Amino acid sequence: GNSVTQMEGPVTLSEEAFLTINCTYTATGYPSLFWYVQYPGEGLQLLLKATKADDKGSNKGFEATYRKETTSFHLEKGSVQVSDSAVYFCALRPDTGRRALTFGSGTRLQVQP
Amino acid sequence: EADIYQTPRYLVIGTGKKITLECSQTMGHDKMYWYQQDPGMELHLIHYSYGVNSTEKGDLSSESTVSRIRTEHFPLTLESARPSHTSQYLCASSTSNTEAFFGQGTRLTVV
């Protein structure tokens, strides 16, 4: 079946540090890949997405590249801010069958001033 | 901004009560979902709807039931709430080609 594995948190960084959150997936075919962000007490918001191999998704300074050869979709940001503190979820949507999202376990990011 | 709404945002209810969590979207999406989020943050699909009058169970077994009589409305019902049902419930919608849009969630506490 489909699955997503992402690095465990919490990840604690100082403001302006470089961020990487690793995400790998297992799926047949050509799934679409997503990063969602959840702020305290809120639902999930789409951060970025990529729908085919070698696509790069980007938004608000965050980037992730769909690497089919390594089945990865790592999230990066060059300089984090305190306002980036949240929980980040990697997810995949299969290209056939039931097209519901399968999520990773989430990574909590804490950015200190 | 996503046009998907969940009510109530917070609910504290006694054991044995019947509850319905509401979810509505105004985007005309055919697919709707309910996810349960445990305290450890993991999200588990509990119900999925392809369209009107089409629902199926998700990956995580749940005692809740759903209905999809109208495209925009996907309520979740618990006939007899128990403390083990305490969790956050997230509703989402999408088409086959869009990302999923999420509501703000309902945090349910059964005492």
**pLDDT tens-place string over residues A49-97:** 999 999 999 999 999 999 999 999 999 999 999 999 999 999 999 988 7
Q: Determine whether the interchain pair A44/B33 forms a contact, defined as Cβ–Cβ distance below 8 Å.
A: no
pLDDT band at B2 (very low <50, low <70, confident <90, very high): low
Distances (CA, A) of B1 to A16, B27, B47, B95, B103: 28, 11, 24, 16, 11
Average pLDDT, integer, range A85-113: 93
Q: Categorise residue A61: left if φ over 0, alpha if ψ from -120 to 50, beta otherwise.
A: left
pLDDT, averaged across chain B = 93
Interchain CB distance below 8 Å, A105 and B42 = yes
A100 → closest Cβ in B41, B45, B102: B45
Give first-to-last CA distance, chain B, whole Å. 34
Mutation target to probe the B interface, by most B beta carbons within 10 A, among A32, A59, A92, A101 is A101
Render pLDDT for A33-49 as a digit per residue (tens, 0 to 9).
999 999 988 889 999 99
d(C-alpha A65, C-alpha A73), whole Å: 6
Long-range contacts of B7-10 (CB under 8 A, 24+ apart): B7/B106, B8/B106, B9/B104, B9/B105, B9/B106, B9/B107, B10/B106, B10/B107, B10/B109
Residue A1: the pLDDT is 84
B27-65 per-position pLDDT tens digit: 999 999 999 998 878 899 999 999 999 999 998 888 999
| B1 pLDDT more than 70 | no
Which amino acid, residue A7?
A: M
pLDDT of residue B6: 97
| pLDDT per residue as tens digits for the range B62-85 | 899 999 999 999 999 999 999 999
- Which residues of chain A neighbour B58 with C-beta distances below 8 Å? 100
| Interface test with chain B among A30, A45, A87, A99, by most B beta carbons within 10 Å | A99
